[in-house]
Amino acid sequence: MLVAALTGVVFAGLSGNVFVGLFMAVLFSVLMSLVIAFFNLTGKTDLYLTCIAVNLAVSGGTVFVMYLLTGEKSTTSAAIKAYTLPSLTIPGLSSIPFLKGAFRAQYTDLHCFYQCLRSIFLFE
């Protein structure tokens, strides 16, 4: 998650396009999962310990990379412009009586997550 957050903000800020940031965040998340899988499968390491080690390394690495890019450690919002994904309405969800307020306009990442869940259950 830390790698996705960092790469999403950095690439969206550098390119000026939020969807480039979203694509790069997904790409770097897949690369991090491949690193974890590589160490787990070829190195015969314990999966939980590998995930803890990668998470500890990435938690310091994200601060270090952001410091290299912006020169600041704490408040980096002025250095890189933050973009937000546009909101969209998912048809049918707002017509459910007890969920009316929760599903009026959702963000694009929630819609992508919903479609990923649908495809997982569809192909199982």
Distant-in-sequence, close-in-space partners of 94: CB < 8 Å, separation ≥ 6? 100, 103, 104
> What count of other Cβ atoms lies within 10 Å of the Cβ of residue 8?
24
Least confident piece of the model among 19-23, 86-90, 119-123: 86-90
Residue 31 pLDDT > 90: yes
Mean per-residue pLDDT, 60-70: 87
